[in-house]
Chain A
Amino acid sequence: MSNGLERMHPFVLFLYYVAVGVLAMYFNHPLFLGVGCIVLILVNLTHDNGKALKKWIPMLSVMCAVIILVNPFINSRGTHIFFYFRGKQVTLEATLYGAVLSMSLVLILLMFISFNLILNGNKFLFVFSRFLPRTAFLTMLAIRFVPLLNRRLDEIADVQRVKGLSIKTGTIRQRAKSGMVILQVLLTWSLEEAIETSDSMKARGYGIGKRSPYIPYRLARQEVGWLVTLAVLLLICLVGGLLGYGKIIIYPQLGTLQLYPIDWIVFISMLVIMAFPLLIEGRELLKWNYSLWKTSHSNSRTRT
C-alpha cells in the first residue's frame, strides 16, 4: 500500500493530523462537525478502501448511540423542553449537545484511524526526533523490542508448557503466576541482551555525533507550500473560532444555527484542511488517468 499521501513529508502529515484533531475539539457547530466526519470517512476510504474503518464501525456506532440517547436523560439543562421523564425535563439542548459531542469524538477517532495507517512508526518518530531526539530514540528502540519480545515470549511459553505450566489452564491465581514466571524469564534474558546491544551500539559509534534518520526525508518545494497553506488555514479557523464563528451556544439556551458570511469562510478553510488527503489523492488520480489517456491516445495515433 503506497499512495500519494504516504509519500508526503512527515511534517506535512503531522501538521494535518494536529490541525484535524484541534479543529475537531474546537468547533461545535453541527454542520462543521458533520461535514468533517464525512470528509474523514472519505479520507479513510482512500487509504485502504475502509478496511481499518470497518473494524471500528461497531464501536463508533455504539458510542454515538449511547451518548445521544443517554445525555438528554442525565442532563436536564436547557430551556426547550421536549417532555418530562420521571419528573426531569428532557431538553432539545441536551439532545443537541449529545449529538455534537458524539460527532466531535467520532471525528477524533476517525482521525486516529487514518493516523495509525499513514503516520505510523518511523514517520511519527521522525517528527519527534527533531524536538526530543533521545526520547524518540528510546521510544523507537522500545517499539523495535516489542516483536522481538513477543517471539521470545512464545519460545519461553513453549518450554514452560512442556514443564506443565500454562496460562491457559488452572485457576486465575495459577494462570497469573505462570504468566509472571514467563515474564520473569523474559526479563533476565532480555536485560542481558540489552547490555550487549548497547555495547555493540557504542562500538559502532553511538553518541559521537547527532543521530541521522534511517530514512532521510527532505522537504520538497511543493511540500513547503502545503505546510504554509495548512498553517494559514488553521490560523484562519482558530481566529475565526476565537471570534465565535463555527460555534454555537447550546447552554443555557440554544442560540442560532444560522451561518454568517464569515462562518462560511471559516467553514471552507476547515473543509480544505480536512480534505487535504483527498486533494492529494485526487491530483494523483487525475495525473494517472490523464497520462493514460494521453499515452493511449498517442499510441492509437501512431498506429493509424
Chain B
Amino acid sequence: MAKSNRYLMAVSILIVILLVASIVLFQYKAYLLLSFLLIGCIMLPMFARFEMKEIGGREIVMLAMLAAIAAVGRVPFAGLPSVQPTTFVIIMVGLVFGAESGFLVGAVAAIVSNIFLGQGPWTPWQMYAWGMVGMTAGLLRNTWWMSKLWGKCVFGFVWGYLFGWFMNMWIIVGNLESFSWEFFTGIYVASIYFDLAHGLSNVFFLLVFGVSWMRILERFKKKYGLFDFQRA
C-alpha cells in the first residue's frame, strides 16, 4: 500500500508540474499534447500495478479473451449506429473480476478495436474512457444498489452519457485556443442522440443479458479459481 501511495504522490506532483510548466513556459499552449501526457500519467500506475502483481497465465489469457470479445462485439452490430456491446462487456468484467481487470479489459479493448478500425489521436481518450467504465463498475460492485438490476441499468445509462461527454472533450481540448461557450454547447448538443443511443443500448443489454452473462462469468471464475490468490 505504501508503495502505491508513493506512486500516486509522484504522479500527482508530476501533473501539477506539467500544468504549471505549460502555463509558464508555453505561452502558445500545446493543449492536446498536454492532455496526452496527463492521460499517460494517470494510466501508467494502473498498468504498472498489473505488471508487478502476482498473476497466473490463466488470468492473463482470460483477460485477453474478454478484451478481444469486447472489441469484436462491435462487428455483429456494425449495422446499428452507436449500438455496441463493448461497454456492456466491460461493465460485466468489472462487476465480476474487479476494478483492475475492468480497467485493463476496457483499455486493451480500445487499443485492439482501433488496430482494426484505425488508430488516431482519439485512442488514448477511448482507452481512458472505457478503462474508467470497467474500473468504476469494479469499485461500485459491492454497493447495495449495484446488486439490483435497476442499479446496474442506471449505471449503464449514466455511462452512456459520461463516455460521450468525455470523448467530446478531445475535440474541445484540440481546439481550446478558440474556445467559446457556443462551440462547447454546440458539440454537446450534437452528441445528445448518439449518447442516448449508447446509454439505452447499455440498459437494453444489461436488462436482457446482464443476469446470464454474470452467471457465466461467475461460473468460470469459480470453476477455475480465477483471481483467487488467497487460497492458491
Contacts and interface: CB of A to CB of B under 8 A. Distances in A.
Interface of A: 22, 25-26, 28, 71, 74-75, 77, 94, 97-98, 101, 105, 108-109, 112, 115-116, 120-121, 132-135, 137-139, 141-143, 145-146, 149-150, 153, 157, 167-168, 172-173, 175-177, 179-180, 182-184, 186-188, 190-191, 193-195, 197-199, 201-202, 206-207, 242, 244, 247, 249-251
Given A142-B112, A186-B69, A193-B65, 19 more contacts: A71-B178, A75-B183, A112-B120, A132-B47, A138-B104, A139-B111, A142-B64, A146-B68, A176-B204, A177-B208, A180-B85, A184-B212, A191-B220, A194-B58, A194-B65, A195-B220, A197-B61, A198-B57, A201-B57
Given A77-B178, A195-B224, A137 B60 contact: yes
Contacts of B174: 101, 105
Interface stretch (B25-33, B133-141, B152-160): B25-33
B193 interface: no
Contacts of A172: 80, 83
User: Which of B80, B85, B112, B205 has the most chain A CB atoms closer than 10 A to its own CB?
Assistant: B112
B112 A139 contact: yes
A53 B108 CA distance: 27
User: Which of A22, A132, A141, A249 has the most chain B CB atoms closer than 10 A to its own CB?
Assistant: A141
Given A141-B60, A198-B58, A116 B112 contact: no
User: Which of A74, A142, A176, A242 has the most chain B CB atoms closer than 10 A to its own CB?
Assistant: A142
B51 interface: yes
Contacts of A146: 68, 71-72, 112, 116
A274 B181 CA distance: 36
Interface of B: 25-28, 30, 32-33, 47-48, 50-51, 55-58, 60-69, 71-73, 75-77, 79-80, 83, 85, 104, 108-109, 111-112, 115-116, 118-121, 174-175, 177-178, 180, 182-183, 186, 201, 204-205, 208-209, 212-213, 216-217, 220, 224
Task: Give the secondary structure class of B's interface.
Answer: helix
B216 A175 contact: no
Contacts of A101: 174-175, 177-178
Task: Give the secondary structure class of A's interface.
Answer: helix
Given A146-B116, A153-B72, A180-B205, A141 B77 contact: no
A94 B180 CA distance: 12
B116 A183 contact: no
Contacts of B60: 134, 137-138, 141, 198
A47 to B, nearest CB: 15
A133 B213 contact: no
Given A97-B178, A138-B108, A25 B33 contact: yes
3 closest cross-chain pairs (CB), A and B: A145-B68, A141-B64, A198-B61
Contacts of A173: 204
A150 B72 contact: yes
Given A25-B33, A143-B115, A207-B57, A149 B76 contact: no
User: Which of A98, A138, A202 has the most chain B CB atoms closer than 10 A to its own CB?
Assistant: A138
